[in-house]
Structure 1
Amino acid sequence: MKDQSSQVFLQRARVMNLIRIMAFVCFIIALFYSLAAVVYSTKVIYKVKLNYAVILEQFGGKRQAVTDLGWHYRLPFFTRLEKDVPLMNQNLYLGGSSAPIKIISRENVALWTSALMTFKIKDLKVWGIENLFPEILLQGDFDGIAKDTLQAQEVNKLISEREKIKEIIFQALKNRPINKNGPTIEGKYGIEVVSFVINETRFGDKLVEATEEKKRRQLIAEADNYAADQEADRIKKLYKAYLEGIRSLHAALGGSDKQSVNPALFEFLSQQKWATAYEKNQSDQTTFVLHGQGQAPSLTLPSMFEKRFNVPIKDSKKNMPALTE
Structure 2
Amino acid sequence: MATSQPTQFLRRSFIKTVLRRLIALITVVGLIYGLVAVVYATKTIFKVKMNYAVVLERFGGVRQAVTEVGWHARLPYFTRIEQEVPLMNQTMQLGGTPAPMRIISKGNVALWTSGVLTYRIRDLHTWAIENLTPLELLQGDYDGIVKDILQAQQIDRLVSDRETIKEAIFTALKSRPINIGGPTIEKKYGVEVVSFVLKETRFGDKLVEASEEKKRRELIAEADNYAADQEASRIRKLYAAYLTGIQNLQTALGRKDGATDTALLQFLTQQKWATAYEKHQAGQNTVVIQNTQGSTPAITLPAFDADHRPEEGDNGQTAD
Question: Which of the five TM-score ranges fits, normalised by the shorter chain?
Answer: 0.7 to 0.9
Post-superposition offset of 1:199: 1.4
Q: In 2, are the aligned partners of 1:271 and 1:317 still within 8 Å (CA)?
A: no
Q: State the match for 2:90 in structure 1.
A: 90
Cα 1:277–1:28 shift into 2, 3 Å = farther
Letter in 1 for 2:295: D
Post-superposition offset of 1:235: 1.6
CA distance in 2, matches of 1:48, 1:201: 41
Question: Counterparts in 2 of 1:95-114, with a 5 A limit?
Answer: 95-114=95-114
Q: State the match for 2:43 in structure 1.
A: 43
CA distance in 1, matches of 2:90, 2:99: 18
Letter in 1 for 2:28: I
Post-superposition offset of 1:271: 6.1
Q: In angstroms, what is the RMSD of aligned CA positions? A: 2.2
Q: State the match for 1:15 in structure 2.
A: 15
1:154 aligns with 2:134: no
Letter in 2 for 1:269: L
Post-superposition offset of 1:120: 0.7
Post-superposition offset of 1:263: 5.0
TM-score normalised by length of structure 1: 0.81
Deviates more, 1:260-269 or 1:98-107: 260-269
Post-superposition offset of 1:10: 0.8
Q: State the match for 1:269 in structure 2.
A: 268
Secondary structure of 2:3's match?
Answer: helix
CA distance in 1, matches of 2:167, 2:89: 19
Q: State the match for 2:232 in structure 1.
A: 232
Unaligned runs of 5+ in 2: 274-286, 299-320
1:200 aligns with 2:200: yes
1:121 aligns with 2:101: no
Sequence identity percentage: 60
CA distance in 1, matches of 2:234, 2:106: 46
Letter in 2 for 1:89: N
Post-superposition offset of 1:176: 0.8
Secondary structure of 1:85's match?
Answer: strand
CA distance in 2, matches of 1:264, 1:43: 119
Letter in 2 for 1:215: K
Post-superposition offset of 1:98: 1.5
Counterpart among 286, 289, 295 of residue 315 in structure 1: 295
Q: In 2, are the aligned partners of 1:45 and 1:72 still within 8 Å (CA)?
A: yes
Post-superposition offset of 1:141: 0.5
Cα 1:90–1:20 shift into 2, 3 Å = same
- How many matched pairs? 285
Deviates more, 1:109-118 or 1:168-177: 109-118
Cα 1:203–1:13 shift into 2, 3 Å = same
Post-superposition offset of 1:276: 5.9
CA distance in 2, matches of 1:126, 1:120: 13
Cα 1:232–1:67 shift into 2, 3 Å = same
Cα 1:107–1:263 shift into 2, 3 Å = farther
CA distance in 1, matches of 2:11, 2:48: 54
Q: State the match for 1:131 in structure 2.
A: 131
Q: State the match for 2:34 in structure 1.
A: 34
Q: In 1, are the aligned partners of 2:45 and 2:71 still within 8 Å (CA)?
A: yes
CA distance in 2, matches of 1:241, 1:139: 76
CA distance in 2, matches of 1:160, 1:228: 33
CA distance in 1, matches of 2:140, 2:238: 72
Q: State the match for 2:4 in structure 1.
A: 4
Secondary structure of 1:2's match?
Answer: coil
Q: In 2, are the aligned partners of 1:123 and 1:191 still within 8 Å (CA)?
A: yes
Letter in 1 for 2:160: S
Post-superposition offset of 1:152: 1.4
Secondary structure of 1:131's match?
Answer: coil
CA distance in 2, matches of 1:76, 1:60: 14
Q: State the match for 1:65 in structure 2.
A: 65
TM-score normalised by length of structure 2: 0.83
Letter in 1 for 2:17: N
CA distance in 2, matches of 1:174, 1:265: 88
Q: State the match for 1:56 in structure 2.
A: 56
CA distance in 2, matches of 1:262, 1:111: 74
CA distance in 1, matches of 2:198, 2:47: 38
Q: In 2, are the aligned partners of 1:272 and 1:317 still within 8 Å (CA)?
A: no
Q: In 1, are the aligned partners of 2:254 and 2:260 still within 8 Å (CA)?
A: no
CA distance in 2, matches of 1:153, 1:75: 56
Q: State the match for 2:283 in structure 1.
A: none
Question: Counterparts in 2 of 1:158-307, with a 5 A limit?
Answer: 158-255=158-255, 259=258, 263-270=262-269, 273=272, 278-279=290-291
